């Protein structure tokens, strides 16, 4: 892997992590096109930390306010409980099927591309549906509704489905407006991504090499920068323009991937 590979992959990670387009799919397909990879996919795991830090930095004020209020405010306590409940389903399923996901699904471009296309069609359909939002503030989502959204997040363990896509669509079906659904997806990303990062690091720490430190640093910085930009502006974009743009994005990328599989084997 060359330095420009690391910068490009980091940029893609930060750009796509919080969009409903599947960062995993974009990383895996780009790596196949570039002909690069890393043992145990440690590089891909570690640059996720850049996207996590980006989200935490943008949401630092809100997180500090939640931390200050959680001991005295029932509404805040209920929200925190909801995030914890929403995190549990994907964490359990991810640990149970970790080997299958990493060794089979991640190595099957056909599954990734089909998931992109199908997910894109779902976003187009959902964006044209009429919902009557019950939740217009992320703090009002109940623990039971949060748990249901967390179950939807399990679908994202299939590469190409998209963690943010599955949680945004799930939240909309369970009563959140588009902006609230996207923001809940942000909050749920914090424990989900941190947990996935910690678990993957634990499973693959023996594959880390000091020789890769500079590449990982480049990827981390690139993911952080693009992640900050996306997190700052995506809520307003989704509120104003909906999900159709991302639906077509997914269909185009997945379609190109399927064409490459058919012509070259990718």
Q: Which DSSP string do the residues of the chain spell out, in sequence order?
A: --HHHHHHHHHHHHHHTTTTT-HHHHHHHHHHHHT---GGGHHHHHHHHHHHHHHHHHTHHHHHHHHHHTTT-HHHHHHHHHHHHHHHHHHHHHHHTHHHHHHTGGG-HHHHHHHHHHHHHHHHHHHTS----SBSSGGG--HHHHHHHHHHHGGGGSTTS-HHHHHHHHHHHTTB-HHHHHHHHHHHHHHHHHHHHHHHHHHHGGG--GGGHHHHHHHHHHHHHHHHHHHHHHHHHHHHH-SHHHHHHHHHHHHHHHHHHHHH--
Tell me: pLDDT of 107 over 80: yes
Confidence grade of residue 41 (pLDDT, cut at 50, 70, 90): low
Tell me the C-alpha distance between 194 and 207, whole Å.
20
Does the pLDDT value for residue 44 go beyond 80?
no
With a pLDDT cut of 70, the percent of the chain lying above it is 97
Band of pLDDT at residue 211, cut at 50, 70 and 90: low
The predicted-structure confidence for 54-97, as pLDDT tens digits, reads as follows: 999 999 999 999 999 999 999 999 999 999 999 999 999 999 99
What is the reported pLDDT for 182? Answer: 94
Residue-level pLDDT at 264: 83
Q: What is the mean pLDDT of the chain?
A: 91
If you average pLDDT over residues 104-129, what whole number do you get? 94
Better-predicted residue by pLDDT, 214 or 218: 218
Whole-structure pTM value:
0.92
């Amino acid at each position: 892997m060359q330095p420009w590979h690391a910068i490009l992959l980091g940029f893609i990670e930060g750009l796509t992590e919080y969009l409903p387009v599947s960062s995993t799919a974009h990383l895996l397909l780009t790596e196949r096109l570039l002909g690069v990879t890393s043992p145990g996919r440690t590089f891909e795991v570690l640059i996720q930390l850049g996207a996590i830090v980006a989200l935490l930095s943008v949401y630092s004020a809100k997180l500090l306010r939640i931390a200050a209020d959680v001991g005295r405010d029932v509404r805040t306590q209920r929200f925190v409980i909801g995030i914890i409940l929403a995190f549990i389903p994907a964490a359990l399923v991810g640990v149970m099927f970790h080997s299958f996901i990493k060794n089979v699904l991640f190595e099957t471009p056909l599954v990734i591309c089909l998931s992109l296309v199908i997910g894109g069609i779902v976003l187009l359909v959902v964006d044209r549906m009429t919902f009557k939002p019950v939740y217009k503030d992320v703090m009002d989502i109940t623990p039971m509704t949060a748990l249901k959204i967390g179950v939807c997040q399990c679908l994202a363990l299939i590469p190409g489905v998209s963690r943010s896509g599955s949680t945004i669509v799930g939240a909309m079906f369970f009563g959140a407006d588009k902006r609230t659904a996207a923001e809940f997806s942000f909050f749920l990303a914090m424990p989900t991504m941190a947990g996935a990062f910690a678990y993957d690091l634990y499973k693959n720490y023996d594959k880390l090499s000091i020789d890769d430190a500079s590449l990982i640093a480049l990827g981390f910085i690139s993911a952080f920068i693009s992640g900050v930009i996306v997190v700052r502006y995506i809520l307003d974009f989704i509120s104003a323009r909906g999900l159709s743009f991302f639906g077509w994005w997914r269909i185009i990328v997945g379609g190109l991937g399927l064409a490459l599989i058919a012509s070259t084997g990718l």
